[in-house]
Structure 1
Amino acid sequence: MARPLSRPRNRRLRALAVPLGLALAAALGFLPSAAGATPRAGGPLLSYVVNTVPGHATVAKVERAIGRAGGTVVTAHERIGVIVAHAADPRFAAGIRTVPGVQSAGATRTAPLRQSGTDDVGKPQRITEAQRAAAERTARATGEEPLEPLQWDIRAIRADLAAKVNPGSRKVTVAVIDTGVDDTHPDLKPNFSARQSANCVGGVPDTSPGAWRPYDPVTDAHGTHVAGTIAAARNGVGVTGVAPGVRVSALKVSEPGTGLFYAESVVCAFVFAADHHVQVTNNSYYVDPWMFNCKDDADQAAIVDAVGRAAKYAQDRGVVNVAAAGNANADLAADKLTDTASPNDSTPVNRTVDPTRCWDVPTQLPGTVTVAATGSHRLKSGYSNYGLGQIDVAAPGGDTRQVPEPPAKNGNVLSTIPGGDWAFYAGTSMASPHVAGVAALLKSTHPKASPQEIRWLLKQQADNPGCPTGDATCTGTRYVNSHFGYGIVDALNAVTE
């Protein structure tokens, strides 16, 4: 899926090979309508983003040009000038780029759907009966949630203490842009906001009841796990979230059967979040099919443009966008990076990318809070991306090599999964929702604060462990460095300062 940020030992594969024949195209809504022009043959039916000067007049003119070029308009976001279209002609994008008013255009995929991954590290581990029993014994003695003793991550950022001061406001909602959320889970149901949830797959929001739930409860459990870390209720069941008093919503963007997160779906999610008064979005993924979108490639540049416009639209309407840094153990501030995973919907190729021109989207978009992962020993997780000037803050993401004290023992992050269960995951996917939860607490404490002010408070209140002795990959100062940015976020500071 645009790789939720978690994966199997280097990325947990979630996709199956799926041919994009006419039957699948029809099921996904890819076939042109009767009113549209007949596409010229010669290539697979693909989705495109066409970015124009915002406004009805220009968008309408470009829509007509899309029809003349054999494409079909799926939806148009006039306020940001992003049109989603489908076409089968390989010449479509090049032709549309010449139309007056078009500023960029490109395919959001490279081939019929195939495979993708998440940014979880290693295989999910379901909680065992022995772990459950040990946790419940401890919880009865301490007055915690039944499984909270296994949540070393909650204590690591003092979210347990914060909840006693202010668990978060019901007026604050965090939207989980991900694989969908099981809102029937007993830990999530009390805080779930259906009116701020939708299925954005394909680019058009579907708000019918339950449309936001995962397509598959096993392969698409990622979003439910993220949601629990943010806002699992303190209700005497299971775990607790960082901000157990706020609301959480689901914006599903992962393709059925493959888990791919395409640009048109992510654009839909950011716009929907902004228009439905969400305060924070969590983005534990990167937009497929490119791990890094390079601006000297017309298709990739169009993806950066489209998603960037949507993210800025949300920010301009008061939304704080939080995103995972990624799990390649890569220095995002390096002069050159190697990408061996892209494009992940056809045949990946080895390419060297320039980080100044090639961006991880939405992680490296301007204004986004970029989050690195730590383990229980307050060290960078071995898989976490890093980089001086690239990481804003850090948070617990899990690391099996950093083992917490009993009864936890498992160094990964415990949270909710579909079907009323709980499991341990690791990845920057798990770190990002901790920061989204703290951002929600800050918004609860400072309801009039702008996204820029929330970002500043996250940094100002963070606690930086400093670079580990002898670790040459960590550069910077005691206050700002490549591993932790400004530091590990602190939930208690968020509700007391």
Structure 2
Amino acid sequence: MPHFILTHRRAGKRADHQHHAGRAAMADAMDKHVDRLASDVRTHEPHHDTARHVARFEADHDDVRAIDWHPALICEPLVPHFIRSRHASDTGRALPHELSIPLRREGDDRLLVRVVDEAGVPVADVDVFAYFGSASNRVQAATRTDADGVATLDHDPERPLLELAVAPASHWWPQVIEHRSGAEPEIRVDVRLQPLPPSERGLGWWHREAGLDAVDLQRGTGIAVGVVDSGLGHHPALAHVHNLGAFLDGAHLADGGDDRGHGTHVAGAIGARPTASSDYAGLAPGARLDAFRVFGPDGSAHQGDIARALDVLVHDRDCHLVNLSLGTVHRSEIVADALLDAVETGTLVICAAGNSAGPVEFPAALDEAVAVTALGRIDQAPAGTLSAHRVPDDARLRADPVFIANFSCRGESVDVAGPGVGIISTVPGGGWAAYGGTSMAAPQVTGALAVLLAEDPDYLALPAGPDRSARARAMLRAHSQDLGLDRRYQGHGRIRKG
């Protein structure tokens, strides 16, 4: 049975009595319609009387469509949103060509992958991914290395191996293994991991692209930034971040954790404060940073939880900026309402454009959002790493030494390009990992814009309201440098201080 999300509109409603009317319409609909027709109803008690109320329920599609919903309400099918990163667990179409490695049969059809570190010592618990078949019809095999550093992947011998990648949780680069043309068919692949480089006095190439040449822990002070993502894991460089917990299907968890690492990486890119000389700083370590988890165990988030998180960050936390490194190909009216409400209240929402190399996805494609595509820089990742495979074959995407990553979505909705290839940032447990994707580009833009806004006294003097978000958008455009590429690929260009 299909799932639906019901909530009341917030955009265009500034007075308390308007919010009370929306909440009353919601309560009436729950009593008259949802409780009568639906099953598995999940809702929550809003924490104050003007906050957004959301319900998720199962019901027959025809029954829902037949209801004359109050104009103050939005009821729509559940729209799953997904993380917008490109690391080795999601190589997909991002590689520029297919790999074809015929495998020799050895009793059964298996590929053995042995992973060692730079000294030749076996490495356990490394994720290994292989895709067999064709780009349009492929199957995935995935496992982890054992104590001997060995992973065994089963496959269909009728399908060629398209892609093979290894993804250490931290410390080493994710890598792609290619078959040499003319080489003997293999039943075993040996992978020697390459360690991530230490920072250059707290900086990476992405800091230089933003016009930053030194770490300043006060940079970004006075700006409040929200992150709606997979949560926040423990990391010494993120001890200052406010973990606001999780909104998951009607429940609020005080500490949602981060079982995917994505949200922790995003938060670190914006505001990590180094605790060692080799650590990488965030772009705006002085900013106040608030983190919400909205992704459940299945790896997806729905529009109701996203809207609730935005509601708190916009109205209760008065965030100047919110980062959304998530997306979907389907438009949600509920998310559109939440973004419009944010802009009207004074919050600018920075969104990942998507990684399908197709049209810009939602919510980045909404007019109220800032859509960010991913920028890379040649020779910033060693050969054989996943990051090194992000250089596009299409010359229209290159402005040497930088390029638009080959996975990036494109179109008229793109506003700006941000570094999003081989970005090293925090992951749960105190480690550092290199991720790529428009998910990584969005927080680069969020952090860089926080720095610019913190240095603009006219912006800081503005009260909450549409003028504040409009000035933030104007600052973004004023500090975007044209790379000489088509607007569909770069938007206004690369955001840069100075």
Shorter-chain TM band: 0.5 to 0.7
The structure that has the greater radius of gyration is 2
Letter in 1 for 2:296: E
- The answer to whether residue 111 in structure 2 is matched with residue 61 in structure 1 is no
How far is 1:223 from its partner? 0.7
2:106 corresponds in structure 1 to none
Decide whether aligned partners of structure 1 residues 87 and 484 sit closer, same or farther in structure 2, where only a CA change above 3 A counts.
same
1:407 corresponds in structure 2 to none
1:378 corresponds in structure 2 to 402
Contact kept, 8 Å, 1:201 with 1:265, in 2: the verdict is yes
SS at 1:313 equivalent: helix
SS at 2:494 equivalent: coil
Letter in 1 for 2:85: D
How far is 1:107 from its partner? 2.1
Letter in 2 for 1:107: P
Contact kept, 8 Å, 1:284 with 1:323, in 2: the verdict is yes
| From 186, 191, 208, the counterpart of 2:236 | 186
Contact kept, 8 Å, 1:76 with 1:84, in 2: the verdict is no
Q: What CA distance in whole angstroms lies between the structure 2 residues aligned with 1:252 and 1:81?
A: 17
| From 310, 315, 322, the counterpart of 2:343 | 315
Question: Deviations 1:311-368 (Å, cap 9, x if unpaired)?
Answer: 2222222212100111111244xxxxxxxxxxxxxxxxxxxxxxxxxxx322122221
2:334 corresponds in structure 1 to 306
| From 259, 277, 287, the counterpart of 1:246 | 287
Alignment of 1:189-268 (within 5 A): 189=239, 191-194=240-243, 197-206=244-253, 208=254, 211-214=255-258, 216=259, 220-236=260-276, 238-256=279-297, 258-268=298-308
| From 452, 458, 474, the counterpart of 2:470 | 452
1:176 corresponds in structure 2 to 227
Question: Structure 1: 5+ residue runs without aligned partners?
Answer: 1-42, 294-303, 333-359, 399-411, 468-473, 475-480
How far is 1:193 from its partner? 1.9
Question: Structure 2: 5+ residue runs without aligned partners?
Answer: 10-17, 90-166, 174-192, 378-400, 463-467
Letter in 2 for 1:168: G
| From 397, 405, 419, the counterpart of 1:396 | 419
- The answer to whether residue 435 in structure 2 is matched with residue 425 in structure 1 is yes
Q: How many pairs does the alignment contain?
A: 354
| From 121, 135, 139, the counterpart of 2:198 | 135
Letter in 2 for 1:397: G
Q: What CA distance in whole angstroms lies between the structure 1 residues aligned with 2:354 and 2:196?
A: 34
Letter in 2 for 1:122: A
Contact kept, 8 Å, 1:159 with 1:243, in 2: the verdict is no
Alignment of 1:263-282 (within 5 A): 263-274=303-314, 275-282=316-323
2:385 corresponds in structure 1 to none
Contact kept, 8 Å, 1:62 with 1:101, in 2: the verdict is no
How far is 1:180 from its partner? 0.6
Q: What CA distance in whole angstroms lies between the structure 2 residues aligned with 1:318 and 1:102?
A: 22
Decide whether aligned partners of structure 1 residues 425 and 85 sit closer, same or farther in structure 2, where only a CA change above 3 A counts.
closer
SS at 2:27 equivalent: helix
| From 77, 94, 110, the counterpart of 1:107 | 77
Letter in 1 for 2:35: G
Question: Deviations 1:101-129 (Å, cap 9, x if unpaired)?
Answer: 4654222059xxxx966432434553349
Q: What CA distance in whole angstroms lies between the structure 1 residues aligned with 2:334 and 2:77?
A: 11
Contact kept, 8 Å, 2:217 with 2:285, in 1: the verdict is no
Contact kept, 8 Å, 1:75 with 1:85, in 2: the verdict is no
SS at 1:312 equivalent: helix
Decide whether aligned partners of structure 1 residues 117 and 59 sit closer, same or farther in structure 2, where only a CA change above 3 A counts.
closer
Question: Deviations 1:237-266 (Å, cap 9, x if unpaired)?
Answer: 51111112112221101012x110111110
Contact kept, 8 Å, 1:179 with 1:254, in 2: the verdict is yes
Contact kept, 8 Å, 2:418 with 2:495, in 1: the verdict is yes
1:292 corresponds in structure 2 to 330
Question: Deviations 1:178-229 (Å, cap 9, x if unpaired)?
Answer: 10111x301111x3124xx2211214543x2xx1321x2xxx1111111111
Q: What CA distance in whole angstroms lies between the structure 1 residues aligned with 2:309 and 2:70?
A: 28
| From 206, 219, 238, the counterpart of 1:167 | 219
TM normalised by structure 2 equals 0.65
Decide whether aligned partners of structure 1 residues 75 and 286 sit closer, same or farther in structure 2, where only a CA change above 3 A counts.
same
Relative CO higher for 1 or 2, CA cutoff 8 Å, sep ≥ 6? 1
Q: What CA distance in whole angstroms lies between the structure 1 residues aligned with 2:197 and 2:307?
A: 44
Letter in 2 for 1:325: A
Q: What CA distance in whole angstroms lies between the structure 2 residues aligned with 1:165 and 1:460?
A: 25
Contact kept, 8 Å, 2:375 with 2:402, in 1: the verdict is yes
How far is 1:48 from its partner? 2.2
Q: What CA distance in whole angstroms lies between the structure 1 residues aligned with 2:481 and 2:79?
A: 40
Between Structure 1 and Structure 2, which shows a larger proportion of strand residues?
Answer: 2
Question: Deviations 1:122-159 (Å, cap 9, x if unpaired)?
Answer: 345533499769637xx4xxxx13xx3xx211212123
Contact kept, 8 Å, 1:396 with 1:430, in 2: the verdict is yes
SS at 1:393 equivalent: strand
| From 428, 452, 460, the counterpart of 1:442 | 452
Q: What CA distance in whole angstroms lies between the structure 1 residues aligned with 2:42 and 2:274?
A: 45
Q: What CA distance in whole angstroms lies between the structure 1 residues aligned with 2:72 and 2:64?
A: 11
Contact kept, 8 Å, 1:261 with 1:286, in 2: the verdict is no
How far is 1:160 from its partner? 3.2
Letter in 2 for 1:152: W
Quick check: 235-244 or 48-57, which moved more? 48-57
Question: Deviations 1:26-81 (Å, cap 9, x if unpaired)?
Answer: xxxxxxxxxxxxxxxxx36x342255695243233222222233454614778587
Letter in 1 for 2:78: T
Question: Deviations 1:280-309 (Å, cap 9, x if unpaired)?
Answer: 11111115xxx233xxxxxxxxxx221111
Letter in 2 for 1:363: A
Contact kept, 8 Å, 1:167 with 1:243, in 2: the verdict is yes
How far is 1:483 from its partner? 1.7
Decide whether aligned partners of structure 1 residues 385 and 99 sit closer, same or farther in structure 2, where only a CA change above 3 A counts.
closer
- The answer to whether residue 86 in structure 2 is matched with residue 120 in structure 1 is yes
Q: What CA distance in whole angstroms lies between the structure 2 residues aligned with 1:433 and 1:482?
A: 20
2:491 corresponds in structure 1 to 485
Letter in 2 for 1:49: L
